[in-house]
Structures are given as structure tokens and as C-alpha cells.
Amino acid sequence: MEKELEREAYTLKDGGNDGVVSIADDVVAMIASIAATEVDGVASMVGNITNELMSRVGMKKLTKGVKVSVIDGKVNVDLAITIDYGYNIPETCQSVQSKVKAAIENMTGLDVDVVNIRIGGINMKV
């Protein structure tokens, strides 16, 4: 319960007598991560060294490589991805931006302002 309180949450709907609907930032980050990895040419998300080590011991975190923040009611998403060799980087990134924006807006009702992408590596297919 205490860990739940540490996470950032965004209010989606204040229903008055019906209650409040809020969503944790990890949920928005997970939506972004899943949407990004569904795009052809995206090999994986890139996390920091702690996330990479934890994934090697079996503790996978779906939100690695994703940072979500809300500024003035607009969602800003920062993604770090690995792209498969041979794919056009600008086209692939544009597809990722569109897919992530649409997924977050459709699933949460939040407005996405920007989706920034950092290419963290190239996946060389063997």
C-alpha cells in the first residue's frame, strides 16, 4: 500500500458522488511501451543499467525506457528504443510516435503533447 502512494497518479474523472478515477503513471508508461514495441522495426525498449541487470535475473519491468510526465494537463512521453538494422529510423520513429500517442489518448482520455524518442541502439539480426 505504501509503494502505491509513492507513484504519481493522474485524475481522469472526478465523478463527485460517484468517486474519482485516477491512473498511475506506470500504467501510462506501460501503454506507451507496449504500443512502441508493436511497431515494425522496434526491437525493444532500452532501460538504464539497473533495469537491464534486473531483467537478467528474471525481474522484467514493462516500463523500462519510458518516462511519463504531465505538464499543464498534457502528457509528455520520453522513450528509449532499440531499432532493428535495416529499418528507416525517421519513418520508424514517426510510426512509434503516432502509435504511442493514439494508444494513450484512446485508453486513458489524456491528451498527449509530445512523444520524444531516443535511439539507444541498433539490433543486428543474426
In this structure, whether the domain defined by 24-123 belongs to CATH 3.30.70.1350 is answered with: yes
CB 120 within 8 A of CB 81: yes
> Cα separation of 115 and 93, whole Å?
10
Residue 72: predicted pLDDT: 78
Residue 78: predicted pLDDT: 96
Residue 15: predicted pLDDT: 67
CB 11 within 8 A of CB 21: yes
Q: Could you tell me the mean pLDDT of each successive run of 10 residues in the chain, 126 residues long?
A: 51 74 88 94 75 48 81 90 95 97 95 96 84
Closest to 32 in 3D by CA, of 108, 92, 125, 120: 108
Residue 52: predicted pLDDT: 47
In 15-109, beta strands by DSSP E: 20-24, 42-45, 66-71, 74-84
Residue 61: predicted pLDDT: 56
The answer, as to whether pTM is greater than 0.95, is no
